[in-house]
Amino acid sequence: MNLRVRVTVVALGAAAVTAVGTSAHAVGTGGVELTPLQNGGAASAFHVHLAPGHHSTQKFLLRNDSAKPELFQLYAAAVDRSDTGNFTVEGPGSAPWIGVHPQTVTLAPHQARSMSFDVRRTTSQHGPVVYGAVVVAMTDQQIVSRAAALVYLERPGKDPVARALLPLVIAIVVIALALLAHVLLRRRRNVHPDTLQLVS
C-alpha cells in the first residue's frame, strides 16, 4: 500500500522534532532519530547541488534514544510541494534518485549508526529544485508513524560570496572609469589649450 503523509509545515523536520527530538537538527519518531550530516556537522535537511548526470554522497546518523531495542523501516520517498507550501511524502521506492533502498533496521538501546547514500540528478529532472526525503517509519499496533528528513536537489548556482562581492566590483569599475575619463579630459585640455587673442 502506498502510504501518504501530509505535512503542513515548510520544514518536515520541524514537525518531528516537536514530537520527539532532543537534538536540534534531528527528525524522529518513537525513540529513533535521523540527523543529516553536511559540511562536517549536523544539518536540518540534505541540500544537494548537482548538474544533470552527476551524483553526490550524503551521510546521516541514526540513533536510538530509548532504553529498548527499536525496529523500524528506512527508505527514500518522493515529496510533492503544493503552491501553499504543504508537503506530501510518498511511499517507499518513489524516489529512485535517492539511494536509500527500503530496509528494516534494528538499533540496540542508545545505539548510534552512521550511514551514507548516493543522490543522482538525471536529465529528466526539471525545475530548479526536486524534493525527496529519507524516511524513518515505525509500526505500533497497525499505526504507522513516520519522520522525514527533506532532500533538496538543486541545480548548482553561483557562489554566494561571489554574488555578494559583485556589486562592490561593479562600483569599483564605475569609479575607475570615471577617474580615467577625468584624466583623459585634463590631458586633452593640456594638449589643446584655449588661446586668448590680444588686440592692440
**161-176 pLDDT, tens digit each:** 444 555 666 777 778 7
Residue 43 has pLDDT above 70, yes or no: yes
Rounded distance between C-alpha atoms, residue 58 and residue 48, angstroms: 8
> Terminal CA-to-CA distance of the chain, rounded, Å?
111
Task: Tell me: pLDDT of 16 over 70.
Answer: no
Longest dimension (CA), the chain: 118
Do 78 and 174 belong to one domain? no
Q: Which domain holds residue 58?
A: 5-154
CATH number, position 101:
2.60.40.2310
Q: In this structure, what C-alpha cell is assigned to residue 132?
A: 525527496
Number of domains present in the structure of the chain: 2
